[in-house]
Amino acid sequence: MPIIYDKFRTFATYYVLMRMKRVFFFILACASLVCAWGQAHAPVGYSNGAHGQSGEVAENAAVSEPRSDSLFVSLLTCAPGADAYKLFGHTAIRVKGGGEKPFDVAFNYGMFNYEQKNFIFRFVKGETDYELGAEPADYFFFRYSKEGIGVDEQELNLTEEEKRLLYNLLVVNHMPENRVYRYNFLYDNCTTRARVIIQDALLDRKLRYKDRGREYERTSFREILHRFTEGSPWTAFGIDMILGSEVDAERSQMEQMFIPSVYEMELRDAVLVTDSAEVAFVKGERHLAPTGKLQAIADFPLRPAAFFWIVLGIAVCLSVVDFIRRKATLWFDIVLLAAQGLAGCLIAFLFFFSEHPAVGSNWLIVAFNPLVLGMIPVVLMKKKTLKLSCEMVNMSALVFTLLLFWLPLQWLHPAMLPLVLTLLVRSALRLRTFAIERVLRRY
């Protein structure tokens, strides 16, 4: 038995240390992704240099006073990319005009300046200020086409007066004193901003979206996000781990338009209503196929559920051996507690300090919080009473988290089931071991 146990322990040590490290570093990276989904809307390294040029383009266009009959206005919807931060696509508004100084500008509400003071800290905390940028439309198309991302263009059926009003609103929005806004990836992003300003440009006509029925409005934010993360299982796991119950509520048809492709679909079926007639809001569509090839991103070979079921199997085997030996394998428990506590640090920081939506309603904070790190020195102590008390609290928190799979409080990712069971099995084993040690010490 000792020889078999030593071989198994060696294998388990290598497997768990190598894999768990990757998993929880991934969760940290995924948190930054979710908290700042807008990276998909402004490629890093582009945002700073574009502002000066785009401001000049917009200024020249405004000065040129183009003829009203020369304006062309369209909505640009970029397809999802391969990178995790590009999974949700992007929205922009194109305005093209003639006159003495012709212009063709793509207005983009997804720009940010990463040279701001304490940008990374504010980025994660949710104090992320985004800007309305403007760039030549040809360059906008070139950037996405080169990356292998297609762009759909929908010409909007606006009157000449509405086109001019929309253009003037965008120019005013692009002024330095107006262009900055506090970004919110669910409620105030590049798509919602475009939707609002287009709506504001309508004069005596009402934009009516197709009624998709009550069943359509039973969809939650989480379900919508899942549509775009199907091919990135670990990204989906990270998103589900840090977003709380707020994203599980049913959302109206209007609220669901925070996703670029969803808004594009809604405009395709929308109509403009006047006292005498109804006309389609989208006058025409075209697809700009990419010239480059979309580069696939290699993901972890195992899906989250498969990985954590393997970890659970290792935990059960070790627990059986420990049950026979009446002694816990503390190195394995320390690895698990450290991973649980570090994930808890991230969840707790977002829960208490972040301005990002939906992270402050996360029930996982009950079991995944920084206090778990305090369990590491406790399990190494000789004070049996303290060990038992702390372990009972930890075990109770894990039992509550397990019950979340049946309680109508928050949806949990399926991979959380084997993960929580792993922590629960080891917690129960330690509780039994500490209880036995306490009894033996008395006698």
Structural domain span for residue 8: 2-30+302-442
Distance of alpha carbon 197 from alpha carbon 237, whole angstroms: 34
Residue 297's pLDDT band, with cuts at 50, 70 and 90, is low
266 plus 315 within the same structural domain:
no
Max CA-CA distance within the chain? 99
pLDDT of residue 385: 77
CA distances from 397 to 357, 367, 372, 374 (A): 24, 5, 10, 15
19 plus 90 within the same structural domain:
no
Task: Point out the domain boundary residue: 288, 315, 333.
Answer: 288
pLDDT of residue 442: 58
| Sheet bearing 206-208, strands edge to edge | 206-208, 271-273, 278-280
Domains identified in the chain, total number:
2
Instruction: Let me know if residue 83 belongs to a domain.
Output: yes
Statement: residue 26 has pLDDT above 50: no
306 plus 284 within the same structural domain:
no
Task: Point out the domain boundary residue: 262, 288, 314.
Answer: 288
Q: What is the pTM of this model?
A: 0.81
Residue 309's pLDDT band, with cuts at 50, 70 and 90, is very high
What is the pLDDT of the chain when averaged over all its residues?
Answer: 82
404 plus 428 within the same structural domain:
yes
Helices (H), 230-360: 233-242, 260-269, 304-325, 330-353
